[in-house]
């Protein structure tokens, strides 16, 4: 599977994602600069973590207008795979590719620690290598990771089985313990925890590999 990783001014997990995909999983991977108007021949786009444009306006609010994000939106609309991690999740919400918003953590502090996630659905290209209810140990690093959406949106996410991972001990106040959700087409996924930082045992956990390995199990030509 061919991966493209978007790079914004302020991205800081782009190289982590590249290492996990190219070096650990051995997949063709390249960077896509934020000013590029095309993403090229890629199967899955990764919108990585970081502080795009310094988060000067609002997390993800400026990045959503980048030329590359227009190409990402077109890729998603055509059924292409997109995964947004941390700041990438925030950008996907700002770009309305995913519902809801990410707001300040309930404690108003930046949190950097390993957390436990429970797989809430395996019916997606991003979790099909997991077991329903499986526990994953994955790190978080964010100050605005509290997922919020109106009750009607949360109900729709629940009814449509679009909440893919939940926190076990909710660290940031996210509604319904939500750590990651997908779109209606199930081809766009955003999550606050960092699977690329849990791709090798030497990092303290390799549970995050299951997210990327799920993508490799997906028939992109179906």
Pairing between β-strand 111-119 and β-strand 135-142 as defined by DSSP bridges: antiparallel
In the set 13, 44, 86, 146, the catalytic residue is 86
Tell me how far CA of residue 71 lies from CA of 34, 37, 124, 189, in angstroms. 10, 6, 22, 16
Known catalytic membership, residue 196: yes
Known catalytic membership, residue 194: yes
In the set 75, 94, 142, 196, the catalytic residue is 196
Q: Are the C-beta atoms of 139 and 112 separated by less than 8 Å? A: yes
Q: Are the C-beta atoms of 179 and 165 separated by less than 8 Å? A: yes
- The length of the chain is 222
Q: Which residue has the tokens 């629940």?
A: 158
Q: Are the C-beta atoms of 176 and 146 separated by less than 8 Å? A: no
- For the record, the structure tokens of 11 come out as 């991205």
Catalytic positions, please? 86, 194, 196
């Amino acid at each position: 599977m061919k991966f493209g990783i978007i790079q914004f001014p302020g991205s800081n997990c782009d190289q982590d994602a590249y290492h996990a995909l190219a070096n650990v999983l051995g997949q063709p991977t390249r960077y896509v600069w934020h000013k590029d108007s095309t993403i090229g021949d890629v199967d899955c786009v990764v919108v990585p973590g970081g502080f795009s444009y310094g988060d000067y306006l609002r997390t993800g609010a400026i990045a959503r207008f980048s030329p590359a994000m227009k190409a990402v939106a077109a890729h998603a609309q055509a059924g292409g795979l997109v995964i947004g991690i941390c700041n990438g999740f925030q950008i996907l919400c700002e770009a309305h590719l995913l519902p809801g918003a990410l707001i300040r953590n309930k404690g108003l502090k930046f949190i950097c620690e390993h957390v436990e996630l429970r797989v809430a659905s395996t019916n997606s290209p991003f979790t099909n290598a997991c077991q329903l209810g499986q526990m994953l140990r994955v790190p978080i690093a964010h100050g605005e990771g509290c997922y919020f959406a109106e009750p009607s949106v949360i109900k729709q996410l629940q009814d449509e089985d679009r909440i893919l991972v939940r926190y076990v001990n909710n660290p940031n106040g996210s509604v319904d313990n939500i750590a990651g959700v997908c779109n209606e087409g199930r081809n766009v996924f955003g999550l606050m925890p960092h699977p690329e930082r849990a791709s090798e045992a030497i990092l303290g956990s390799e549970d995050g590999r299951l997210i990327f390995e799920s993508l490799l199990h997906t028939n992109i030509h179906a």
